[in-house]
Amino acid sequence: MISVIGLTAAALALICLLGWWWQCRTRNAGHADVIWIFGLGATALVYLLVGEGRWLPRLIAGLLVLAWSLRLGWHVARRVFSEAHEDGRYQAMREAMGTRINLFHFFFFQGQGLLAWLFALPFAAIGANTTSASPAWLCAGALVGGIALVGEALADRQLANWRADPAHRGYTCRRGLWRYSRHPNYFFEWLHWFSYPLLAAGSPWQGWLWLAPVLMLVFLWFVTGIPYTERQALKTRGEDYREYQRTTSPFIPWRPKC
């Protein structure tokens, strides 16, 4: 398994190098998200396939990560390659870095590969776990993962339907899950990562796997998720989004303020 982990790290570094080269040509760094999602999903599946641990946790984890990567990867790829302009988060990065943007993006893309590799490590632990887990732990992991996948897909669909109406341009979606959270898609993405420590019950590495949702929360809240998304929303929707910030929970779905 150690040799496989090293090979996947090298493969992700090479793929991210090619991704960086492509963004230098196209001036669209949005496909970094596509690389991260599909790279993580593929790496996780490799660890689960070559692992010699209990088959049922590996099967459940494999189905969850396969469904997650295919749905989210396709959703992001369709947005990235169909829109005429670069995603607002990456536009903000480009404006902030100026002429240093290609150098910045080199390390950014390699960082995406490193993150994909790190977030795939819980699947190596699940794949190698030979300890029998309680059916309750496995059911809890499957249930949390299923709820997260459905919630994230629903949030993305509701937002896409809102944006499809030209009359909504310049206004903020407050329909469905977006009435209760400014970032329900990010919330369910975070929730999704709780399923894998549950599926690794009994593994000597289970305690370390709880770092996955902690790290995901840090990145969504402080690094690449909410800060750039909200900065771009304020730029394009102004006072309407400020009102949305005043009345709506930033992350965990909750009853809106009056």
Structure tokens, 66: 């396969």
Please, are residues 166 and 232 in contact by the beta-carbon 8 Å criterion? no
The answer to whether 201 and 182 are in contact (CB under 8 A) is no
DSSP string, 209-242: HTHHHHHHHHIIIIISSHHHHHHHHHHHHHHHHH
pLDDT of residue 1: 66
d(CA 232, CA 245) in angstroms, rounded, equals 13
Q: Taking all residues of the chain, what is their mean pLDDT, rounded to a whole number? A: 91
Whole-angstrom Cα Rg for the chain: 19
Q: Tell me: pLDDT of 63 over 70.
A: yes
Lowest mean pLDDT among 42-51, 180-189, 228-237: 228-237
